[in-house]
Amino acid sequence: MPQTPLTHTADTADTADTAGTAGTDWHQCRVTLPAPHNWLVLDLTAERPEEWARAAADEHFSADSAPADRREAFAEDVLWYWAVAARQKALCAAVLAPQDGGVAAFYCVRELGGIPADSLRLDALRAEAEAAEGPFFRPPEITEVELPLGAALRVHRLEPTDPEADSGNVLEGVAHYVLPRAHSTALECRLLWQAMGLGEELAKVADELATSVRLV
């Protein structure tokens, strides 16, 4: 399956602008994927996502490199992330999945809708991030950074995959909440993963991805 750029084209005719609310004043969201051959861009326009996921799984594995059940498991994982991105109305999304391997991380960019124009400020985003309820395995690391797109709040968290369980897998993630200086909106650019041994490396990847985001 040919790789497609990680982009989203906005149909501004379908976007409602209401007084005091951030509206779409851009046409395309673009993200540059590092080592793009290791990423699978999720086709959020797919009308038959199950068929798309199976085709992606067949393309992902080299001939005879994986049994049918492994291919099916990969397709199910990809479809699960596709559904998450679709549910969040993501602008664009991709999974980090080197050839013949499983899904290592999930990246998603979405527009934060319904924010009044006078709340498009870093201090407002920081107050919301600091007030977020856990459970978290440690206090979130919250820092302010400057990206090419605009000022951003960087939030690094570790949390359980199932908050109701006494034990389970740990989910780590870095999110950048960006206020594009040229556009009246806010974006969430988030990378999530479960491989704790790759935390430091993937945190750097999250920073690299956020640095590459453009609205044009």
Distance in Å from the first CA to the final CA of the chain: 27
Contacts 24+ apart (CB under 8 A), 60-65: 60/97, 60/99, 60/100, 61/99, 61/100, 62/99, 62/100, 65/100
Question: Is 192 within 8 Å of 96 (Cβ atoms)?
Answer: no
Give the span between the Cα atoms of 176 and 157, in whole angstroms: 12
Distance CA 122, CA 101 (A): 38
pLDDT band at 17 (very low <50, low <70, confident <90, very high): very low
Query: Is residue 92 pLDDT above 70, yes or no?
Result: yes
Burial of 212 (0-12, 13-18, 19+ CB in 10 A): middle
Residue linked to tokens 């302010």: 144
Rounded to an integer, the average pLDDT of 100-105 is: 92
d(CA 216, CA 208): 19
**d(C-alpha 146, C-alpha 31), whole Å:** 17
Q: Is the pLDDT of residue 193 over 90?
A: yes
Average pLDDT over residues 67-88: 93
Read out DSSP for 90-126?
-SEEEEE--TTS---EEEEEEE-TT-BGGG-SHHHHH
What is the C-alpha separation between 24 and 18, in angstroms, rounded? 11
Residue 53 carries which DSSP code? H
Compute the average pLDDT of residues 11-15. Answer: 32
CA distance 60 to 69: 14
Confidence of residue 162 (pLDDT cuts 50, 70, 90): low
Nearest to residue 172, comparing CAs of 190, 153, 159? 159
Inter-axis angle of helices 68-87 and 49-60, nearest 10: 130
Report, as an integer, the average pLDDT of 10-19: 32
Domain ranges of the chain: 6-10+27-99, 112-216
